[in-house]
Structure 1
């Protein structure tokens, strides 16, 4: 197959989505949607997370040095899209029904509806021109019990939770079907909020 040069982007390189959880100064949970997330090795498994631009999530990570990373699945995509497309500095962002709990090890909000969450402590940050990379220690991983069920195959367990991926500004289901452009799934959250 022949190759052609295309614009510089990460199109057609699907990425897993996470909701980063922090607490505002008043103790209210705040979540933001991010996909620049991967793993590092530094004597133990760690996480690298990049946040571009000015965001409340980044401000709160600077203030506390900790955050959670909650896996986004098909079941919570509308909520995740809402969190990713609603300004964190807005006073009413979290005025929606959402169940959270505190982390088991760190003082971070965990989204109950997410089947897997990392509790992360920043070990080092690397400021960039318009972004920042956080190198983090994984202090705890909280998972739904069904993910620890070794009687089921990994494939079966992944199919149950159905993680969402994104590329080309579009969300994709676990089986590769388009689930909407960025900003579309959140309409369900706002329509429920207005009822």
Structure 2
């Protein structure tokens, strides 16, 4: 391996490679709301009991809906959904219903949350704990159901070929994944 030369750039850079999701929630009047959220990760509560960890900043309606209802859908964004993600990110619920672009919505199979029909991987979640820090709230969410595209074949957590999901990766700009490099252990000596 080649040694890399680095330089200090200060703390104002916060480049974090993040998968892009669109979170679906229920408004008070029963309508649905969607917003792009990229601060999404996972943690392990016990054994094989995973929790999604989702942080939301500010006072957006999506965040208020999650606080009020305790449920949400987390829809993975694939490259063919970039227009929809950008639309949801530039149009706010406070300005009215987000219906300036065509998209199809269904309801979750286990939790009554709106889901995007275009998403290839969807989590139906309920909040088990939330932590507030400044203007951000981090939600620890129990995964109650996962819906995946019927064309995907996954044997376990470590068998997901992301290139087939074509996820959008966000780091201030949109990126995609180019190729599958291998599995754990393929590169050790």
**What is the distance in 2 between the residues matched to 1:89 and 1:147?**
37
Q: Which of 77, 85, 96 is 1:72 aligned to?
A: 77
Per-residue deviation, 1:90: 1.6
1:86 is aligned to: 91
2:150 is aligned to: 145
**What is the distance in 2 between the residues matched to 1:25 and 1:82?**
22
2:17 is aligned to: 14
2:133 is aligned to: 128
Q: Which has the larger radius of gyration?
A: 2
1:4 is aligned to: 7
1:188 is aligned to: none
**What is the distance in 2 between the residues matched to 1:100 and 1:22?**
12
2:174 aligned with 1:171, yes or no?
yes
Is 2:84–2:101's contact at 8 Å kept on the other side of the alignment? no
Gaps of 5+ in 1: 177-195
Per-residue deviation, 1:85: 1.9
Per-residue deviation, 1:106: 0.4
**What is the distance in 2 between the residues matched to 1:107 and 1:130?**
28
Structure with higher helix content: 1
2:67 aligned with 1:62, yes or no?
yes
**What is the distance in 1 between the residues matched to 2:124 and 2:51?**
11
**Aligned-pair RMSD on alpha carbons?**
1.9
Per-residue deviation, 1:160: 3.0
2:186 is aligned to: none
**What is the distance in 2 between the residues matched to 1:21 and 1:132?**
16
Per-residue deviation, 1:49: 0.4
2:115 is aligned to: 110
Is 2:74–2:123's contact at 8 Å kept on the other side of the alignment? yes
TM-score for both structures, normalised by structure 2: 0.84
Cα distance change of structure 1 residues 7 and 78 upon mapping to structure 2, 3 Å threshold = farther
Is 1:30–1:94's contact at 8 Å kept on the other side of the alignment? no
